Structure 1
Amino acid sequence: MQLTGNTIFITGSTSGIGRAMAEAFHKLGNQVIISGRRKPLLDEVTMANPGMAAIELDISDPESIEEAAERLVTDFPKLNVLVNNAGIMPFDDPSAPLNDEIAQRIVTTNFLGPVRMSSALIEHLKRQPRATILYNSSVLAYVPLAGNAVYSASKAAIHSYAMSQRFMLRDTPVRVQEIAPPWVNTDLIYKGNDPRAMDLEDFIQETMRKLSGDDEEIIVDAILEVRANPGANEHAMVNAFNADMIENPIPVTA
């Protein structure tokens, strides 16, 4: 995608990857609109980045999505980039009864949220000279983490949806790209110093560099082998990865 001259709306952008991407795009001179549920956090980010705008949005609420889309089209008629970043990652155990409320919240936030947000803006984006819909999925779409089975499945679903949408928009000005982050050192689960987690600044730098091209998927070099794993023999890596996570769990502290 073209990295300058855009009007960009980013969901879930008050912390972590979302905020870091918003600030990276902002530094390049784009008009960036961030979003989230908590106004104090939105104010904190916009105050730190003069010229950035903000809209309150609950990505799990269809009415909130429609209201945000209407405001975006009215207040930012040149909007041409949607970054679907918002997501949640509670743990679950598919070998035991699931908490249905939590499972529904994951699917609603991680899958239906970006699908609904894209749907609410799709006709507007098609009217732009050039536009991009960008999905933030996960490496876990390809090699699921068994202790986050519903989360992993939701990211596999958004990967599948992005491929279908990309094909259906092939004759329009709208490009569909997908970022599949590895484990990045943010507070999505727990921010610490685990050496397996990629530094956020390093991730953003490599991702922004690769976004400047025309790749349909933006995959940092560290996980290219994992991205290539799905296929008839994919179980070996999936099993080895999960066995390692059991033996060396994420160190969560109070």
Structure 2
Amino acid sequence: MHMNGNTILITGGGSGIGRALAEAFMQRGNTVIIAGRRQNKLDEVTAANPGMKSALLDIEDAGAVQRFAEAIRAEYRALNVLINNAGIMRPEIVTDGTLDTAEATITTNLLGPIRLTAALLPHLLTQPHAAVLTVSSGLAFMPMAATPTYSATKAAIHSYTQSLRHQLRNAGVQVIELVPPYVQTELMGPGQATDPHAMPLAEYIAETLHLLETAPDAQEILVERVKPLRYAEANGSHQAFFERFNAVSAAETEHADPA
């Protein structure tokens, strides 16, 4: 992937990893468009980064995704990089009988990137140095039991990305998967942004950009902190790791529900 001279669209660019990637790519000489569903957040980011562009996108609405893609193609004819970053992460109790969280998570985290990629791919196929980046998670490989649908959607994004890469292998569009660990963002609320167990956001972005720069043909961008999750299955430690990894969240659930 070329690190400058691109026109890059980043979904979920109003906060967290999306915003940090947008600012980092802009600093490297790219035209950057951030997309999200909250205008006030987009305005906050563009005000802090003169020259950055923004566009409203309701990633849950299939029709809105198609209309958004048509408008983006018309306004930014040089668009050559799509970063599918938008996502939600919410805890679920599978015995409560409700599916609202599961359905919203699938629509946002899985259908959203698939729909937007499909809508923009005909345009990307005509552009030089084109790339599609997806953002999965270490939880694609080591699920968190407290967030079952989130973990499942990220596993699906990993699988989808592999297939997309294979189908586009001779089409001139590079497909790269970013695999974050637990990072200091507000994905699961303000407390996560200061959680000492999470990787500082600036450190995650710096290591990710370094890997993109030094391994331009990489298929997966794996910072060191995510590798234990990524390779647990391969090294035979998955089940033991899973039990340890989920022990804390299981204890918290039991404490919250004495019955």
TM-score, length basis structure 1: 0.94
**Aligned positions of 1:182-197 closer than 5 A:** 182-192=181-191, 193-197=194-198
Q: CA deviation at 1:215?
A: 1.1
Residue in 1 that maps onto 2:256? none
Q: Secondary structure at the match of 2:147?
A: helix
Alpha-carbon distance in 2 for matches of 1:72, 1:48:
22
**Aligned positions of 1:104-183 closer than 5 A:** 104-183=103-182
Residue in 2 that maps onto 1:236? 240
Alpha-carbon distance in 1 for matches of 2:99, 2:71:
33
Contact 1:185 1:191 in 2 (8 A): no
Q: Partner amino acid for 1:235?
A: Q
1:217 aligns with 2:220: yes
Contact 2:20 2:205 in 1 (8 A): yes
Q: Partner amino acid for 2:6?
A: N
Q: CA deviation at 1:191?
A: 3.5
Q: Partner amino acid for 1:204?
A: I
Q: Secondary structure at the match of 2:105?
A: helix
Contact 2:2 2:129 in 1 (8 A): no
Q: Partner amino acid for 2:57?
A: L
Alpha-carbon distance in 2 for matches of 1:130, 1:29:
15
Residue in 1 that maps onto 2:40? 40
Q: Secondary structure at the match of 2:34?
A: strand
Residue in 1 that maps onto 2:11? 11
Superposed CA RMSD: 1.4
Alpha-carbon distance in 1 for matches of 2:125, 2:230:
30
**Aligned positions of 1:19-34 closer than 5 A:** 19-34=19-34
Deviations 1:81-109 (A, max 9, x none): 00000000010123x14421221100000
1:207 aligns with 2:204: no
- Aligned identity (percent) is 46
Q: Partner amino acid for 1:241?
A: F
- Call closer, same or farther: CA 1:196–1:248 in 2, change over 3 Å: farther
Gaps of 5+ in 1: 250-254
Contact 1:89 1:148 in 2 (8 A): yes
Q: CA deviation at 1:144?
A: 0.3
Deviations 1:18-74 (A, max 9, x none): 001001011111000001112122111111111111111011111111111111111
Deviations 1:222-245 (A, max 9, x none): 121221112565211111110134
Alpha-carbon distance in 1 for matches of 2:174, 2:15:
26
Residue in 2 that maps onto 1:75? 75
Gaps of 5+ in 2: 254-259
Q: CA deviation at 1:247?
A: 4.7
Q: Which moved more, 1:207-216 or 1:27-36?
A: 207-216
Residue in 1 that maps onto 2:229? 226
What is the aligned residue count? Answer: 248
Runs of 4 or more above 4 Å deviation: none
- Call closer, same or farther: CA 1:244–1:163 in 2, change over 3 Å: same
Alpha-carbon distance in 2 for matches of 1:5, 1:246:
47
Alpha-carbon distance in 1 for matches of 2:50, 2:153:
35
TM-score, length basis structure 2: 0.92
Contact 1:92 1:98 in 2 (8 A): no
